[in-house]
Amino acid sequence: MNYIIIDDEATARAIISQLCSNIEDLNVIEEFPNAIQAIKYLNQNEVDLIFLDIHMPDFTGFDFIETIKNPPRIILTTSDSNFAIQAFEYDCIVDYLVKPITQERFNKAIQKAKSQQVQSAPYQSAEPVETTSGNDLYVNIDRRLIKIDIPSIYLVEAKGDYIYVKAENQNYTVHSTLKKIEDKLPNDLFLKVHRSYIINVSKIIDIEDNSVLIKKDVIPVSRSNRPELMKRLNLL
Amino acid sequence: MEKPNLFYIQNMLGGDTGFEQKLINIIKAEFPEEQQTYQNCISSKDYKATSEIVHKLKHKISILGLEKSYQVAAAYELKLLDGQLDLKEEFELILATITNYLQEI
């Protein structure tokens, strides 16, 4: 697993790096003294795991989580135990380590991160798209068919062997292809705007040159798909 | 008053003596900077900023095995947010103790 460390304290970064060095398959990619630098890095690069300090001046760990798109697994490192409940409101949080961190406790957190890596990609793990029924799309999650309200879906993103389905109240990772889900979604509501993205046209906030804003996500629009998108809009 | 020690550094981080010295050097470099930031914040009566730097110093207090002092720092951190300074002297004595210890090791 490739990981980065975000902590404003050099001593804390050194300790986490040392704890990681005692575990196989962990490769430190970068260390950042603040979250802003890390966000810039993550705009260009992908990592498997982030060690994130909560209490940093100006831009906290929680600000960071709210800001980044598709957060990877995150292990929080903090001197406060007060934030634990808030921390686990985020799906991406694997564990919560209170400083000073011991090797034994650290190893448990890494085991959790590794087991989640095997079981699923980020967000809720799901298996192939099954069927549609009226306004509903059913996906198979842990042998249960979970209903997703189709109009609540605002974005579908292709990511390797998975697609991320982003809906109003929940996000799902589905082991499927963009083509398969495109066939299940109503054409009058959804449009493929890029080889990796299908959007719900009714959820567009604004359009600028070669991108659309859907909720907080800026989605690229490929040149070949732009004419069809423009046709769908009720332009004044 | 309890005395700083290297128990955590020597026993809880995998027993790497090379790293032990490296970490001590980092603490020796970082602690005086944080202490100076603390002095600047408290002098300017910016108690929110003072609370933030106490939070940061709190980690080093725990690394150096000062369990009771850690509790003092944690309480001082919270009190500063309400502008209360009654733990100021006690906290600054902890900083002085650490300064002396870092000069010895």
Q: What band does A153 get if pLDDT is binned at 50, 70 and 90?
A: very high
- On average, the pLDDT of chain A sits at 84
CB pairs under 8 A between A and B: 51
pTM of the predicted structure, to 2 decimals: 0.65
Question: pLDDT, tens digit, for every residue of B20-50?
Answer: 999 999 999 999 999 999 999 999 999 999 9
More confident residue, B37 or B16: B37
State which of A122-131, A146-155, A156-165 shows the largest mean pLDDT: A146-155
Q: Residue B13 and residue A79: Cβ atoms within 8 Å?
A: no
Question: Which one of 1.10.10, 3.40.50, 3.30.70, 1.20.120 gives the CATH number of domain B18-104?
Answer: 1.20.120
- On average, the pLDDT of chain B sits at 94
> A91: alpha, beta or left, given left = phi > 0 and alpha = psi -120 to 50?
alpha
More confident residue, A115 or A11: A11
Testing the interface with B: which of A5, A11, A28 to mutate, by most B Cβ within 10 A? A11
Name the amino acid, one letter, at A89. Answer: E
Instruction: State the architecture of A124-232 in CATH terms.
Output: Beta Barrel (2.40)
Whether the per-residue pLDDT at A124 is higher than 50: the answer is no
Rounded CA-CA distance A175/A146 in Å is 14
Residues 5-64 of B with CB under 8 A from A: 8, 12-14, 16, 19, 22-23, 26-27, 29-30, 52, 55-56, 58-60, 62-63
List the single range of A4-13, A14-23, A158-167, B50-59 with lowest mean pLDDT.
Answer: A158-167
More confident residue, A175 or B54: B54
What does the pLDDT average to over A129-148? 67
Question: pLDDT, tens digit, for every residue of A176-214?
Answer: 788 888 988 998 899 999 888 999 999 999 988 788 899
Question: pLDDT, tens digit, for every residue of B79-90?
Answer: 999 999 999 999
CA A235 to chain B, closest CA, distance in angstroms equals 51
Question: pLDDT, tens digit, for every residue of A164-174?
Answer: 889 988 888 87
The token duo for A186 is 């109503």
Instruction: Say if residues B98 and B64 touch (Cβ distance below 8 Å).
Output: yes
How big, in percent rounded to 5, are the helix, strand and coil portions of chain B? 75, 0, 25
Q: What ranges do the domains of chain A cover? A: 2-119, 124-232
Number of Cβ within a 10 Å radius of residue A163: 25
Which positions in chain B touch A100 (Cβ < 8 Å)?
Answer: 8, 12, 59, 62-63
3-state class of B43 per DSSP? helix
Name the fold adopted by A2-119: Rossmann fold (3.40.50)
| Sequence-ordered list of residues with C-beta below 8 angstroms from that of A234, at least 6 positions apart, any chain | none
Which positions in chain A touch B30 (Cβ < 8 Å)?
Answer: 9-11
For A72-94, the DSSP string reads -EEEEEES-STTHHHHTTSTTEE
Q: What does R_g of chain A's alpha carbons equal in angstroms?
A: 20
Which positions in chain A touch B51 (Cβ < 8 Å)?
Answer: none
Q: Residue B16 and residue A18: Cβ atoms within 8 Å?
A: yes
> A125: alpha, beta or left, given left = phi > 0 and alpha = psi -120 to 50?
beta
Whether the per-residue pLDDT at A109 is higher than 90: the answer is yes
Q: What band does A133 get if pLDDT is binned at 50, 70 and 90?
A: low
Question: pLDDT, tens digit, for every residue of A207-236?
Answer: 887 888 998 888 888 888 888 888 888 887
